[in-house]
Amino acid sequence: MSEFEQRNSGVVAISTDSKFSHKAWLQTPRKKGGIEGCQYPLLADFTKKVSADYGVLQEASGVAVRGLFLINPEGVVEAIQVNNLPIGRNVDEALRLLDAFQEHQKNGVVCPIGWAKGKEAIKPSDAAAWFEKHAK
């Protein structure tokens, strides 16, 4: 969590479970499959409206698939990842995306394939220099 806070970012999780189910899960130890100690909000989309609004509601089962939305400080969606049910996400990738969008916001650069914090990004006004140096 502190890694997100360092990047001026919150984290919020949503499922179609009730808030009472969330509370029970939050009180269950990690070794028993719980998430005791989890610091970010768990929200209950019990009517499934929000999941439908975000396009992640699986109609047949009534649950939300594993969607991730990166939203900027103005409330605009910057990135979307949606995984079908069996596959989890990657926290490092969420942090990498935050770093990349913040790098772009701060320095006006664009971040090419595989970019991560500490690597050189591309200055749009001088893209040729980047390719000269990095292209294989």
Partner 1 sequence: MSVRVGEKAPELTLDGVVKGDFKSVSLKDYRGKWLVLFFYPLDFTFV
Report whether 34 contacts 28 (CB < 8 A).
Answer: yes
H or E segment and range at residue 130? helix 127-134
**Residues in contact with partner 1, total (CB under 8 A)?**
62
Minimum distance of partner 1 from residue 49's CB (angstroms): 8
- CA 76 to CA 55: how far, in whole Å? 16
- CA 5 to CA 16: how far, in whole Å? 26
Report whether 81 contacts 68 (CB < 8 A).
Answer: yes
Residue 1 found at the interface with partner 1 (CB under 8 A): no
Minimum distance of partner 1 from residue 134's CB (angstroms): 26
101, two tokens: 């969008």
Nearer to partner 1, 54 or 130 (CB): 54
Per-residue contact track with partner 1, 99 to 128, x per CB under 8 A?
--xx--------------------------
Residues that bind partner 1 (CB under 8 A): 4, 7-17, 19, 21-26, 28, 33-34, 39, 41-45, 50-56, 58, 61, 63-80, 85, 88-89, 94, 98, 101-102
